[in-house]
């Protein structure tokens, strides 16, 4: 498989990938060349320069994963990638410290006029009185966005004896209070803060959220910092607010369009300090984000789950260690209920019993959904597009959790509702191996592999032998067999593990036998 590195990344990341894959490095690849080259590659690594548009994604015939060596994915059409089943990953923690430190450095530099003081002194000027600054101690810092970076800035501000008030629509109030941060509304932050720093993603909601109307409600002489995303603070409005004196100063590292033109509204304004998107520009951060993405791409191309996908439910490393052993079993349980159900499945219910009920099981549920859809769709189904494909088909998927369990530490039960009936298959792990332990209410012990024939039948001599004879005559080898009792008196459930698929004509012949109540085939290993 081939990996295209379209923007320069650390050699450490290349070293991680090159032993397993062919790596092609084309730094700052022009848009037309990216479009031309992308069909040949299985993975793509970009930073902020390359734009991965819907057109590029459509042309990517083999692409399985896009890695953004950084936090934001503004330059990637995530919706188009998701629709095509392409994983998009980033490095949410690789440059957190670098961006945090840069945000705080920008605040200090602005408060003490360090950039302009240095510039004029280099020219031979000695202007001590002109560059009198303000102290951070005792001032109130408003933090809009209390994620990793916002929380990091808040922590440093508290060490400088600042008061901190934080706002985030998804804020963890208990964690903030434990840090010493006051939790407030957006309006609280705007009204009370002497310094305001933004740490939100750029979305339709956050674009221009700090505009002239909002700045007019701030304290006169407030100072603003934006090291998050260009466009969160309206650039033209910021210029006017600084020129009018409503805003005493601003420190900006990110812009609506980069690189910025010579006539950009934030250039040449006294009190506005700018840097060319340096938030993640440390030696350590560049290595960190590249390594994170390289390891994610390596895992994905080897068929393993990744933790930092932006178009999948986020999962911590600790939770992934718990749930990943269940992925293969979950897919096979989904495959089994699809094969056993009569008609289109409209509802899928996954019940988790045992300790596994305590963790985030969304990816296991996605694995079940993938297994079911794989069995009935021609197009490729994966962990990225399975939820959206289920939604398109009107398939309702739900989870039930219950810690109670009797025989096994953890049990997954998948119930499919189709037509007027339902079928259920229950599984667990024996060590690292998945086993099916119930089909409907019938206790079994079945390795979900190869091809399985399931026949409910009357419990009388000769029935099993007749089925075996039919299989032998058709040249189908039976590699395993078990017969389970059912809840219906006088009946049993025959389960045959076969070396290959059974012709439809053979299944029909078995179904027509006296004493057979139907026959279903589950093909677990189709590839």
Residues belonging to the active site:
229, 258, 277
Rounded-to-integer distance, Cα 191 and Cα 184, Å: 11
| Tokens encoding 491 | 């009946």
Query: Which 3 state secondary structure label does DSSP give 87?
Result: strand
Rounded-to-integer distance, Cα 106 and Cα 102, Å: 6
Contacts of residue 166, defined as CB under 8 A and 6 or more positions apart, other chains included, come to 142, 143, 144, 146, 150, 154, 176, 181, 182, 183, 184, 189
DSSP per residue over 421-439, as a string?
A: EEEEEEEEEETTEEEEEEE
200 φψ region: left (φ > 0), alpha (ψ -120 to 50), beta (else) = beta
**442 and 457 Cβ atoms separated by less than 8 Å:** no
Rounded-to-integer distance, Cα 463 and Cα 360, Å: 45
Query: Which 3 state secondary structure label does DSSP give 158?
Result: helix
Contacts of residue 247, defined as CB under 8 A and 6 or more positions apart, other chains included, come to 215, 218, 221, 222, 223, 224, 238, 241, 271
Strand partners, 66: 44, 88
| Residue with the two structure tokens 């409910």 | 456
Rounded-to-integer distance, Cα 372 and Cα 66, Å: 26
Rounded-to-integer distance, Cα 437 and Cα 354, Å: 15
Sheet holding 195-198, edge to edge: 182-183, 163-167, 140-144, 195-198, 222-226, 247-252, 272-274
Rounded-to-integer distance, Cα 213 and Cα 414, Å: 53
Buried b (16+ CB within 10 A) or exposed e, 109-122: bbbebbeebeeeee
**320 and 308 Cβ atoms separated by less than 8 Å:** no
246 φψ region: left (φ > 0), alpha (ψ -120 to 50), beta (else) = alpha
């Amino acid at each position: 498989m081939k990996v295209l590195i379209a923007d320069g990344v650390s050699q450490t990341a290349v070293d991680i990938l090159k032993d397993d894959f062919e790596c092609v490095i084309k730094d700052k690849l022009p848009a037309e060349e990216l479009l031309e080259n992308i069909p040949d590659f299985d993975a793509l690594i970009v930073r902020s320069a390359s734009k991965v548009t819907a057109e590029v994604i459509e042309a990517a015939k083999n692409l399985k994963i896009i890695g953004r060596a950084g936090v934001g994915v503004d330059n990637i059409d995530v919706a188009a990638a998701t629709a095509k089943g392409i994983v998009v990953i980033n490095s949410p923690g690789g440059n957190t410290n670098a961006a945090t430190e840069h945000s705080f450095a920008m605040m200090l530099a602005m408060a003490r006029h360090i950039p302009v003081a240095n510039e004029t002194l280099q020219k031979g000027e000695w202007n001590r009185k002109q560059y009198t600054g303000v102290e951070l101690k005792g001032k109130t810092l408003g933090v809009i966005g209390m994620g990793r970076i916002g929380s990091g800035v808040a922590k440093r501000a508290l060490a400088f004896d600042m008061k901190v008030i934080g706002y985030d629509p998804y804020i963890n109030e208990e964690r903030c209070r434990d840090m010493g941060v006051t939790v407030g509304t957006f309006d609280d932050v705007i009204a009370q803060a002497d310094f305001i720093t933004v740490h939100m993603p750029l979305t339709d909601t956050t674009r221009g959220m700090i505009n002239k109307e909002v700045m007019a409600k701030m304290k006169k002489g407030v100072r603003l910092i934006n090291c998050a995303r260009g466009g969160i603070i309206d650039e033209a409005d910021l210029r006017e607010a600084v020129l009018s004196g409503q805003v005493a100063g601003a420190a900006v590292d990110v812009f609506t369009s980069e690189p910025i033109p010579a006539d950009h509204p934030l250039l040449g304004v006294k009190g506005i300090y700018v840097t060319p998107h340096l938030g993640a520009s440390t030696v350590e951060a560049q290595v960190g984000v590249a390594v994170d993405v390289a390891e994610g791409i390596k895992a994905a191309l080897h068929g393993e789950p990744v933790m930092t996908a932006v178009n999948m439910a986020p999962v911590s490393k600790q939770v992934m260690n718990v749930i990943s052993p269940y992925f293969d079993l979950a897919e096979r349980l989904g495959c089994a209920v699809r094969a056993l159900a009569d008609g289109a499945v409209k509802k899928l219910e996954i019940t988790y019993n045992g300790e596994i009920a305590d963790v985030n099981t969304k990816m296991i549920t996605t694995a079940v959904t993938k297994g079911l859809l794989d069995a009935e769709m021609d197009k490729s189904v994966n962990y990225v597009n399975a939820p959206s494909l289920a939604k398109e088909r009107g398939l309702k998927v739900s989870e039930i959790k219950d810690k109670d369990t009797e025989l096994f530490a953890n049990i997954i039960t998948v119930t499919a509702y189709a037509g007027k009936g339902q079928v259920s298959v229950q599984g667990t792990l024996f060590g690292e191996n998945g086993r099916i332990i119930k089909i409907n209410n019938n206790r079994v012990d079945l390795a979900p592999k190869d091809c399985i024939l399931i026949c409910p039948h009357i419990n009388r001599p000769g029935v099993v032998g007749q089925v075996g004879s039919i299989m032998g005559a058709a040249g189908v080898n039976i590699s395993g067999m078990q017969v389970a009792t059912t809840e219906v008196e006088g009946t049993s459930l025959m389960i045959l593990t076969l070396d290959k698929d059974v012709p439809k004509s053979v299944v029909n012949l078995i179904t027509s036998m006296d004493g057979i109540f139907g026959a279903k085939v589950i093909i677990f290993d189709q590839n």
